[in-house]
Structure 1
């Protein structure tokens, strides 16, 4: 008879290779500059960016919800394309780098931002600590 221990469980966590370095499949270093950014920096930078968009929207557009969203999209695409990081990412010292493919950063930033707005791709991660919106866009968020 098959026992539960034989099948494993989602409660056991994801399968992990002993000694696997996060980001190594992407060609990133294990530590230091250019390594995969720690998890806590991502939501912190997102909160800073969203707060900045809310502030600008309150000053210029009376806090209109659609203006908040439009400002967030424009800020992400513009700053990621020109500087490789949004203001919130600059503040917590992370940046977004292309890791595969040859598409221009503007297109990567647009795809990444559109998928981030859907929320689900932002909470599904792979073993390299790369959320789905980064996987699809061919980018990685690294320590600056």
Structure 2
């Protein structure tokens, strides 16, 4: 094999950066700033927000207000979480947890997501797996399918 030719494993075995590609910062391809308001919200903020929202839906609403037992509260909480996402992200662009963690959901044009985007994003988020698979802009499959991005306030 000619040593001057690049190895075909160079870009996937050692990662994309091994091939010399500069990926930039998360959100650069989307035209978002690197830091501050409007930058891509990091995973710490996003995980914190979903935990806060889940606790609100489970303990405060499902068990506290509606009186469901711990065993039954799981499915009810999931439904309440989906309803919270559709209503709050659809109207103000963020849930309670997102507000506390200082970020919102935006369309790729920077505006509030429309109803179809919110429904697609919520459905896929409830499935959980799409949220765990993400790209270099830190957008999960649910965000990519819906055409949305989580940005800092």
User: Shorter-normalised TM-score: what interval?
Assistant: 0.7 to 0.9
Runs of 4+ in 1 over 3 A off after TM superposition: 8-11, 13-17
Find the residue that maps to 2:58 and give its secondary structure: helix
Q: Summarize the Cα distance change of 1:31–1:103 in structure 2 as closer, same or farther, 3 Å threshold.
A: closer
Cα distance in 1 for partners of 2:88, 2:95 equals: 5
Aligned residue pairs, count: 142
Find the residue that maps to 1:40 and give its secondary structure: helix
1:126 is matched with: 135
Query: Which of these residues, 25, 39, 42, is aligned with residue 38 of structure 1?
Result: 42
Provide TM-score, normalisation by structure 1.
0.86
The answer on 1:93 being equivalent to 2:102 is yes
Provide TM-score, normalisation by structure 2.
0.81
Shift, 1:13, TM fit: 3.3
Shift, 1:66, TM fit: 2.4
CA contact (8 A) 1:61 1:67 kept: no
- CA offsets, 1:43-102, max 9 Å, x none? 1100000000002100214143321111011001101011100100000101000005x9
Point out the structure with max Rg over C-alpha: 2
Q: Summarize the Cα distance change of 1:104–1:130 in structure 2 as closer, same or farther, 3 Å threshold.
A: closer
Q: Summarize the Cα distance change of 1:20–1:104 in structure 2 as closer, same or farther, 3 Å threshold.
A: closer
Alignment of 1:46-61 (within 5 A): 46-55=50-59, 56-59=61-64, 60-61=66-67
Cα distance in 1 for partners of 2:55, 2:16 equals: 34
Cα distance in 2 for partners of 1:123, 1:10 equals: 20
Cα distance in 1 for partners of 2:77, 2:58 equals: 6
Structure 2: unaligned runs, 5 residues or longer: none
Find the residue that maps to 2:149 and give its secondary structure: strand
Cα distance in 2 for partners of 1:28, 1:136 equals: 19
CA RMSD for the aligned pairs? 2.5
